[in-house]
Amino acid sequence: MSDSTATAPIEIFVDADACPVKDEIYRVAFRYGIKVHVVSNAVMAIPADPLIERVVVDGGFDAADNWIAERARPGTVVISADIPLAQRCLKAGAAVIGPTGRPFTMDSIGMAIAQRELMSQLRAMGEVTGGPKPMAKRDRSAFLSVLDETIVRLRRRKPPPA
């Protein structure tokens, strides 16, 4: 980690188009005074607060993902259910959390990619219909807990010795 990333402020990047936990993210961000970038392909309502920035990207395929991945670094938290985006951000050193509270790690991302590919093949064969199960109260609670733990861990990071 370079000196500039060790001392850079913590930021949260939200892959917002289908994110069901935006209100929870705002609550944690306000508690810690952390900047949140709400990235989407369309304009969406956000709190009127200088900590919350709306970023509307051009409608190109993966435009929101690309915007987030280009800014991911150590000290940033990315919130996304998108597994390829999670992998890109992990490689850049960011912490990545799924909206159900599942943290992605370099150890777990390979299995997540394999499972995504398997589900894609099953859907193509007509074996799987429907989407993910709805968010449960415990999913929101798990998400809040993991996000809070991640921010506390990042706030404790120390610059490398000179």
What is residue 160's predicted lDDT score, i.e. its pLDDT? 47
Instruction: Please state, in angstroms and as integers, the Cα–Cα distance from residue 71 to each residue in 91, 131, 132, following that order.
Output: 12, 29, 28
pLDDT score of 108 more than 80: no
Please state, rounded to an integer, the average pLDDT across all residues of the chain: 85
pLDDT score of 48 more than 90: yes
Q: Is 118 helix (H, G, I), strand (E, B) or coil?
A: helix
Sign of CA dihedral 9, 13, 19, 23: positive
What is residue 107's predicted lDDT score, i.e. its pLDDT? 74
Angle at 7 (CA atoms; ends 66, 77), nearest 5 degrees: 35
Sign of CA dihedral 26, 28, 29, 30: positive
pLDDT score of 119 more than 70: no
What is residue 109's predicted lDDT score, i.e. its pLDDT? 65
What is residue 61's predicted lDDT score, i.e. its pLDDT? 78
What is residue 130's predicted lDDT score, i.e. its pLDDT? 63
Strand partners for 77: 12, 95
Angle at 84 (CA atoms; ends 57, 47), nearest 5 degrees: 40
Share of the chain above pLDDT 90, in %: 60
DSSP string for residues in 123-160: HHTT---S-PPPPPHHHHHHHHHHHHHHHHHHHT--PP
What's the predicted TM-score (pTM) here?
0.82
Mean pLDDT in residue range 79-93: 93
pLDDT score of 7 more than 70: no
Domain 3-155 matching CATH 3.40.47: the answer reads no
